[in-house]
Structure formats: C-alpha cells, structure tokens
Amino acid sequence: MYFPIYLLLVFLILYVSTPQTGGARNKAFYIYPSEFKDDMMAMIRQGRVWPTVFTPVKNPENADFTIKVVPRKQMDSMLITPEKVEYYPNTKKRIHFSYTVNGQHIYIDEENWRNGVLESGLSVKDYRQYVLFHEIGHVLGYGHQPCLTKKCPIMYQMTRGPPTGYGQEGVELGPVDVKGLKLLKRL
C-alpha cells in the first residue's frame, strides 16, 4: 500500500504554514490598571515571542501572573535594599528597572512605559514591547542573556542600554529559540 504523494505534499504544506505550539504552555494573566490593558493586550496578541498561549482573565485570583504598571515613586519604594540602586556608567542618572517578583508579578515602571528609555536606543513602541516580553520571559523562568550581535536578545537588559559595539539594531522581538536560553535557578 502506498501513500499518494500529493496528499503528503498537502500535509507538509499545511504543517509548515501552521504555527506550531509544540511544548507550548498556557498561561493566564491579568493586567492593571485598566488604562494600559488595551495596548498590552494588543502586543501580547500580535507578538509571537514566546512559545506560549497567553489567556487574559477577568480576576487576578485566576491568573498565573499579573502585569502592573506602577508609578515610579511607588517602584522606588518597592526596592528591597538601597544597594540595588544602579546608575548609568559615568553619570549620576539612576537606572529605573521594571522587574518580576516570584515569577508571578510583573511590575513595569510607568515613566519608562509612557516615555521609553533613551539609553536603550529603542523607540517608545519598541521599548514597550521589549519590556513586556522581557518580563514575561522571567515569568516563564528565563534569566538574562548577553548581547553579542547587532540585535540584542529579548532577555538582554536593554534598559541599561546596549553594550558598546553591539545592539545597534535594537532588540529581537521575533520568536525566541528557547533551547538556547538558560532557565533561572529558583530556590
């Protein structure tokens, strides 16, 4: 018995043209305050960065993770220790990071979200996509990565700015090859 070659070709064409979610995880999320929800939802829907299916929920109690845009003053008060304060090299300008706590709560600096970060070299739109998908990467368990090419990986800390000689083309906002990423070590 033989399999008609044209059926095999049709199968291969359909298989290759269909997004594969092999190993994809499902993650429920909640965004607040609501004024940022529409923009973030659009980015998550359009962005095919992580091999994960993200589903919004109406109640934060039902979410695997939350995303919260926080005023800078509140972000500053949330720092665990003053030793965590960093400055851009050779300046007195403080770096204001967004961060993820316990792999479940993303806190995004509101001023960075609204205005972007000049030192990152990214447009406001690209910075927003970068910070959102970078922090989601932490939720998925991935750690920071070095930037060794013209485009930095999404898990590079672009808020610091690209390293000298690298990152001139911004951040890779396309699909991430998770095989090459290192998982965070959680205690």
Closest CA to 124 of 114, 111, 133: 114
| pLDDT confidence of residue 14 | 30
pLDDT digits (tens, 9 = 90+) for 33-69: 999 999 999 999 887 788 889 999 999 999 999 999 9
Residue 139 domain-assigned (yes or no):
yes
Residue 18 lies in a domain: no
Largest CA distance in the chain: 75
Establish if 84 belongs to a structural domain.
yes
Supply the range of the domain harboring residue 147: 23-180
Number of domains forming the structure of the chain: 1
Q: Is residue 13 part of a domain?
A: no
Is residue 175 scored above 80 in pLDDT?
A: no
Which pTM value belongs to this model?
0.81
Cα(73)–Cα(93) distance, rounded to whole angstroms?
16
Cα first-last separation, the chain: 56
Reply yes or no on whether the pLDDT at 157 is more than 60.
yes
